[in-house]
Structure 1
Amino acid sequence: MADAMAQLLESPALRSSLSRRAAGVVRRYYGAGAMADDYIELFDEVVRTAQIIRSPRTGAGPDVVMLGPQTPPTGGMASVVRAMRRSGLARQSRLTVINSGKTTRQGRTLISGLAAQAGLLWRLIVAIAAGRADLVHIHTCSGRTFWRDCVHALVARLMRRGVIWHVHGGRFAEFAAGCGPVGRAVMRRAFESASAVIVLGDTWRRQLMPYAPRARWRVVPNGVPLAEGPLGERGETFLFLGHFGRDKGAAELVQAAALAAGRGRKLRVDLAGHETAPHQRDKLADVAARAGLEDHVRFLGVLAGPAKQAALASAGCVVLPSYVEAMPMALLEAMAHGRAVIATHVGAVAEVITDGVEGFLIAPGDADALADAMTRLAEDPSLRQRMGRAGRRRAEQRFSADAMGKRVLAIYNDVLEARP
């Protein structure tokens, strides 16, 4: 204690630096905004069992029933829905959000699954019938979720409500190509009869337009809340956010760290995510151990809310070496926190970052290129900071939650103005 007091007394610069850092910590974690975020997390958990969330409207916007997954927001689609609820869209329109995510336990029986889907359909019917909903906004993705949502769209149209599809997921084009003639005919009818079909980028519009040429395609990039307070980095840790399955490239990230270690540069890697199959984490840990990186590769588990914000705040760079993506929320969250990024040329990622400006773009599966990019950023703090600042500016200009909300609200208004 005496030594610490002496250091502070003898160094005005140290006192000033620590004071600025302490003020930043207070603003980020203990200010009114942080407290509000904590309450939102609590309220999200409480209302999850209610399945329906209604937002108060302060503007003159439309009444909208929105179907999408709710808490816990560990997936991209759930994060988008949550960001919309926290954006100006929820204040300028009246959103009734119905949880379309899985609410039954893992390994549920067929009967319980059918009962859950029947309950979801019933909640949609009640929400439309009980209010004066102008539109039904359906967040969907590939597979059985899309076919289920076709039923929701049909019911909404039978009840004379406009339908807006919002397509997520990096495998939707692949799913559409593999549907077969009947499935593609159903998809074409579902999209072309809708008031609008939202996709996340021009890349996805070009890929999906052949399956429904007369659909009213609209592009709305994902958006995230912008981090507040000081955004300066605190280290050179490389943060990974995602599951440990092949699609997200976690194995390539650990392999790249091992390659860098073999070249004499041990990098710190934090992996935040979950397994999609047994023993995935053990295999990653084995690769790290063989490279002598037991103390450099950490597994943080699934992060959400303040814990994820803290991980982003302390990282030097965020790495997303994915094989498949649409427009990853983790990438946008990294940019919103002023972090340099390393990502792959997949999906709409190249519409978000420019190689060499906000980060580096590499080919999926190229562990050598990933190791080179990580080593370069680890050894050049000024480059990390320049890329982080460029990413933050890009997020502010195009990928904030409020920017996303404004684009969606404009689509709502356009659709309603075009209706007879």
Structure 2
Amino acid sequence: MKKKWLGVMTSALVLMSLVAGCGNSATSNDKEIRIGGNFELTGGVADYGKQSLNGIMLAIKEANDAGGVLGKKIVLVQADNKSEASEAANAATKLITQDKVSAMLGPITSSNAIAALQISQDNKVPLVTPTGTNTKITVDDNGQVRPYAFRGCFIDPFQGIVMANFATKTLHAKTAVIYIDSSSDYSKNLAESFTESFTKNGGQIIGKEAFLQKDQDFKATLTKIKSLNADIIFIPAYYEEVGKIVKQARELGINVPLLGTDGWDNAKITEIAGTGPLNNTFFSNHYSAEDKDPRVVKFVEDYKKEYNEAPSAFSALGYDTALMLIDAIKRAGSDDPEKIREALEKTKDLQVVTGILTLDANHNPIKSAVVVEMKDGKQVFKEKVNP
């Protein structure tokens, strides 16, 4: 009888341990708050991931140096998603189910963030992307807000509107060709937004062409685009392909303004395209390091001191998104994922480097954008656009 009773108790304990391991749930720790970092540290957009990660680590370092949050040290548990959607989902699973993080920062790109979303939703752990601009990250196809998905940047439709308005009102363009990365949700979503706004402003889209990520030779398509004689060419894509497209376009004698979005923001674009070819190009971005706001000046100084390089917009957004999450944890008074989620939803008038941040009902920030012009290989502030 005693043996039978012990067997029953043992089975019960095993069952309880299995059940406890099924859901997520960040384990409460008296000394640390564990935050997951799901980043593109290798692969096609690794520079974006590293820059954003640097901004996040700087914000966390400053918070820890100031005594931590809720009397605890913030620990960032990193995972490399290798710039691939499937790996982003794997990284999310590891961070949430194995590392037991209270919230997750990243991924950086829209496609990777979307791939990681279901894991965060299923396990009820907030995911905050610093730079994923696709609308589907926070709102699903049925128009329902994803309760555990948030972002620290403006959304694609706003970038599309910004660049369409810039094209028609500042450059006085009447015709445009759109050249997209058909393998990227980011690129396709921006193209839709630009098209809608450009035509609404009286412009005409006279051509649409596509390429794939990692393509090398764009001259055949660019020759076709050149024959259309458009006033501007809109290329909403990432720096590696954009750099090659810009270089080859100029070699073919395409001298019209080339327009893009925040995916252009990387120093390597100059290495790839060359300084001359990038003249007469413009792209939307989240902030400008030339801004003389004291907060921007201090951030740039602190970042340079920490990493010995100037911060990009991805660095600034990483920093700001970490500040947003830290602020939410403070207001939540807890590292419980559900309480953090509730606090994130109530983020209002938070002063960060890229401006004053308030989350709307769709978990998207209401904030400004800037248009940057490339001149002799350097980014020059062109104009600021308010929402």
Q: TM-score, normalised by structure 2?
A: 0.38
Q: Which structure has greater strand proportion?
A: 2
